[in-house]
């Protein structure tokens, strides 16, 4: 069994619609590459009681919980003290991180709010931040990353070698332009029934140039089975007199799917 994961996006800015999420897809893709099965994502506000409750619920249910957001120097950055509370440990200066941040800022600029970024739950293992020095951290299976996408990505790359991993998921995707889901639903279900351990998905799309169609995705751990199912899907599209296209459309097109 592959390890599982849950992502907690902590921050009012997604819930108010002010900010378009720019972290989920990166984390989802990279967890998949590590063979970690992302099973749930939650977006919750900067409220201590909610963070404590959600962290304690999810850390029991999933192998890994990855949080983003709320570890900066301002009053609305309450993720670290909330995690301390969830684990029932003090929130205290982390000496090593304090020294790193002290050296990072010019003399006199490492003020009280910035010292907050060197204050971690007792027992936390810091995650290095190669961009702006203020660390993320792991407490057991809870991994706390920044919300700023550039910093979150750098921290995730620091964290990745320390995560328990599973068998990578193999995936094949066929695009059928001009096809609609209702035309192939029955045959597709037959293929799914023939490969019960695979996950076969059907996703209608519309590209920026208005071309429409269906993307058919096969995923699973058994490379040979994925290959066989993909061949049947390819044949299914061809049987409709359409040309199956393998792989993703260009990145620019894909962003609109």
Binding site for a copy of itself (CB under 8 A): 9, 12-21, 24-32, 38-46, 72-76, 105, 109, 111-114, 116, 148, 150, 169, 171, 173, 181-182, 184-186, 188-189, 192, 199-204, 206, 217, 219, 255, 257
CA distance 3 to 135: 25
Q: Please, which residue, 125 or 177, has the CB nearer to a copy of itself?
A: 177
For a copy of itself, the closer of residues 123 and 165 by Cβ is 165
Opening angle at CA 246, ends 206 and 35, nearest 5: 95
- Shortest separation between residue 126's beta carbon and a copy of itself, angstroms: 18
Query: In the complex, what is the shortest distance from the CB of residue 60 to a copy of itself, in angstroms, rounded to a whole number?
Result: 15
- Nearest CB to a copy of itself, comparing residues 16 and 224: 16
Please give the Cα distance from 8 to 27 (Å, whole number): 11
Taking CA atoms, 11 is separated from 17, 78, 150, in Å, by 11, 10, 17
CA–CA gap between residue 36 and residue 4 (Å, rounded): 5
Least distance (Å) between residue 211 CB and a copy of itself:
14
Give min distance, CB of 104 to a copy of itself, in A: 11
Q: Whose Cβ is closer to a copy of itself: residue 14's or residue 83's?
A: 14
């Amino acid at each position: 069994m592959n390890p599982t994961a849950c992502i907690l996006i902590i921050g009012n800015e997604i819930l108010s619609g002010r900010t378009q999420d720019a972290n989920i897809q990166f984390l989802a893709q990279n967890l998949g590459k590590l063979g970690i099965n992302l099973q749930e994502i939650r977006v919750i506000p900067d409220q201590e009681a909610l963070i404590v409750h959600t962290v304690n619920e999810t850390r029991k249910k999933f192998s890994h919980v990855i949080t983003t957001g709320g570890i900066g120097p301002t009053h609305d950055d309450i993720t670290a003290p909330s995690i301390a509370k969830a684990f029932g440990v003090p929130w205290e200066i982390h000496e090593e991180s304090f020294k790193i941040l002290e050296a990072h800022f010019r003399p006199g600029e490492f003020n009280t709010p910035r010292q907050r970024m060197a204050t971690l739950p007792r027992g936390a293992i810091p995650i290095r931040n190669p961009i702006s020095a203020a660390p993320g951290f792991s407490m057991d299976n809870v991994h706390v990353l920044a919300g700023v996408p550039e910093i979150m990505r750098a921290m995730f790359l620091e964290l990745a070698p320390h995560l328990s991993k599973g068998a990578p998921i193999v995936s094949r995707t066929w695009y059928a332009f001009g096809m609609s889901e209702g035309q192939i639903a029955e045959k597709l279900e037959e293929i799914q029934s023939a490969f019960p351990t695979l996950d076969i998905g059907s996703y209608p799309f519309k590209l920026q140039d208005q071309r429409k169609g269906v993307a058919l995705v096969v995923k699973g751990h058994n490379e040979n089975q994925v290959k066989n199912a993909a061949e049947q899907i390819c044949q299914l599209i061809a049987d409709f007199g359409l040309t199956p296209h393998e792989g993703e459309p260009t990145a620019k097109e894909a962003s609109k799917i």
